[in-house]
Amino acid sequence: MMIKGVFAWDGEHWLFDPEDRFGFRATWKVNRVLAKADSDFQEVAVIETEGFGKALVLDGVVQTTEKDGFIYNEMITHIPLAAHPKPADVCIIGGGDGGAAREALKYPVQSVDMVEIDPKVVEFSRRYLPEVAGDGEPDPRLRFVYEDGTRFVKKRAQAYDVIVVDSSDPVGPAAVLFEKPFYQDAKQVLKEGGILVCQSESPIFHPDVLKRVHHTLGELFPVVRTYLAAIPTYPGGVWSFTLASLGPDPLQSDGHRLVMNENRYVNRDIWESCFRLPQYVKELLD
Amino acid sequence: MMIKGVFAWDGEHWLFDPEDRFGFRATWKVNRVLAKADSDFQEVAVIETEGFGKALVLDGVVQTTEKDGFIYNEMITHIPLAAHPKPADVCIIGGGDGGAAREALKYPVQSVDMVEIDPKVVEFSRRYLPEVAGDGEPDPRLRFVYEDGTRFVKKRAQAYDVIVVDSSDPVGPAAVLFEKPFYQDAKQVLKEGGILVCQSESPIFHPDVLKRVHHTLGELFPVVRTYLAAIPTYPGGVWSFTLASLGPDPLQSDGHRLVMNENRYVNRDIWESCFRLPQYVKELLD
């Protein structure tokens, strides 16, 4: 069974990152393809890699792996949830692998709505990637909504304390999640003092995306903070997230609300350091 | 002209990272090989990559690039130099590309001795990589010593305030620079209150190396601090440095001695954040 991006080479199979705008591609040795399907939106696959364990791959692009998925999933959820004084209702747009939902449910929230456009991503992640998605009983606070995130946010108002935009890259089905109309609608869905966070790509490989997201959110929200994490499987290793808030400013908090429950990346030190940016990122955002 | 690690593929040339212990390899599109020579120690080459500009490559391993060499070079020099209250005499072991020396000379030091085993690395870097090495007049405070670093440190005593061990990976000529005998000799070469810093590899791909370096230095020095930076071209993106001190503790300083002179990575925010480690790195070092 072959999937997009995998090439045979010297009797081995390697998945090549399609990122070639900069003539730089990461490659993973693939032991086997565990599952593959063409959904209405993309090619969805779960593979077993030599070094990173199992991985979810969409249209040939690695989304999350057993070995380092925790970094992304902890960073995109713990930071906004701990920044909010009392996050009761949470919405995750995308995040079909279930990792962000798992982290969000560590907080004393009332509900987590997971709005994923592609049911196949959720199905495969739950069946083949319990290491990321979790394998316990489904948490009664978690609700799955299979819908386009941009449509979902048009139909509600002031429903959530925190919205996590856990999207893939701004190509294909996720592109609209990086545009102003979506952010405007998402803002209306936030309750008073609500917080939105999104992954805003690599400051090295996609500085234009980060700059645009930061700027656009700055037109809509009084508080906008970009933070970074080092994620080995994403191109360039360093990844950005941008938090936009209608009220609380994470820089005014000492992170005492962070839940430490089997965290492997996020702790108080990460809270204190992740908003502190290298000079080249500061200059990019100024 | 071909060099180690470069393969032709679909009419293009790509350099493959030899890191395959984890079935993960970074690859760079190579436009051309600018220079190549077999020195007494290794294959030394300077290539022009599609996305990272020119790069120094030793035995097929990318050492530094025009695009992101500044991150490594600023982190390995500014942190120890700003941690020391008055760094007068500095020794760089390795660092033949000249980037660390360039950064060290931004400080009001009296002398920088650069001890590089391979003159070919220095020659090629100065001739083909002025973007990293600098292209101004040679600074009279800088002295080149072409010698094995392990031998060099045996012949002196209490000569330096800061020693920067800017080595390649712990294979080939640099392997001994990760061993206790070298650290013991290096300690003797430090003046009172002196500081040694070394690159200690990736916490993701070489956790054993980082753990051993941290532990070994802890047996010899009263203060040992590991810090991190996100460096796109190194495998895994996140890289560690370990600072060992006979006196000053960087955690007791606010970084006010950092020199900001065209820095592109290091600033006060990086000073405040680089010693704050993610949970998985803390657990590795505990």
Q: Report in angstroms the alpha-carbon separations of A232 from A69, B115, B227.
A: 10, 32, 17
Together in a domain, A132 and A261: yes
Q: Report in angstroms the alpha-carbon separations of B68 from A107, B32, B104, B125.
A: 38, 19, 18, 15
Together in a domain, A143 and A35: no
Q: Does B7 touch chain A (CB under 8 A)?
A: no
Q: Is B144 helix (H, G, I), strand (E, B) or coil?
A: strand
Q: Has residue A258 been placed in a domain?
A: yes
The type of residue at B46 is: V
Together in a domain, B78 and B211: yes
Q: Which CATH number does the domain housing residue A251 bear?
A: 3.40.50.150
Together in a domain, B90 and B48: no
Together in a domain, B59 and B77: no
Together in a domain, B225 and B90: yes
Question: Last residue of some domain: A16, A45, A64?
Answer: A64
Separation of alpha carbons B27 and B198, rounded Å: 26
Together in a domain, A168 and A240: yes
Number of domains in chain A: 2
Q: Has residue A1 been placed in a domain?
A: no
For residue B273, give the chain A residue with the closest CA: A273
Q: Is A63 helix (H, G, I), strand (E, B) or coil?
A: strand
Residue-level pLDDT at A137: 80
Together in a domain, A91 and A18: no
Together in a domain, B260 and B227: yes
Together in a domain, B46 and B179: no
Closest CA to B271 of B256, B249, B286: B256
Q: Has residue B1 been placed in a domain?
A: no
Question: Last residue of some domain: A64, A82, A113?
Answer: A64
Contact B104, B77 (CB under 8 A): yes
The type of residue at A59 is: D
A166 as an active site residue: the answer is yes
Beta bridge partners of B29: B14
Q: pLDDT tens string for chain A (286 positions)?
A: 789 999 887 889 999 987 666 788 889 999 999 999 999 999 999 999 998 999 999 999 999 999 999 999 999 999 999 999 999 999 999 999 999 999 999 999 999 999 999 999 999 999 999 988 887 788 999 999 999 999 999 998 999 999 999 988 888 778 899 999 999 999 999 999 999 999 999 998 889 999 999 999 999 999 999 999 999 888 778 999 999 999 999 999 999 999 999 999 999 999 999 999 999 999 999 9
Separation of alpha carbons A191 and A198, rounded Å: 17
Closest CA to A129 of A41, A28, A58, A229: A58
Q: Which of A68, A113, A118, A166 is catalytic?
A: A166
**Percent helix, strand and coil across chain A, each rounded to 5?**
30, 30, 40
Q: Which residue has the tokens 């069974």?
A: A1
Q: Does A23 touch chain B (CB under 8 A)?
A: yes
Together in a domain, B55 and B156: no
- Tell me the two tokens of residue B170: 């712990």
Residues 184-213 of A with CB under 8 A from B: 202, 204-205
Domain span at residue A192 reads 69-285
pLDDT in tens, B55-81: 999 999 999 999 999 999 999 999 999
**Max alpha carbon distance in chain A (Å)?**
58
Separation of alpha carbons B261 and B74, rounded Å: 11
pLDDT in tens, B163-202: 999 988 888 778 899 999 999 999 999 999 999 999 999 9
Q: Identify the helix (H) or strand (E) that includes residue B209.
A: helix B207-220
Q: What is the ipTM of this complex?
A: 0.93
DSSP B237: S
Q: Which CATH number does the domain housing residue B39 bear?
A: 2.30.140.10
Together in a domain, B11 and B93: no
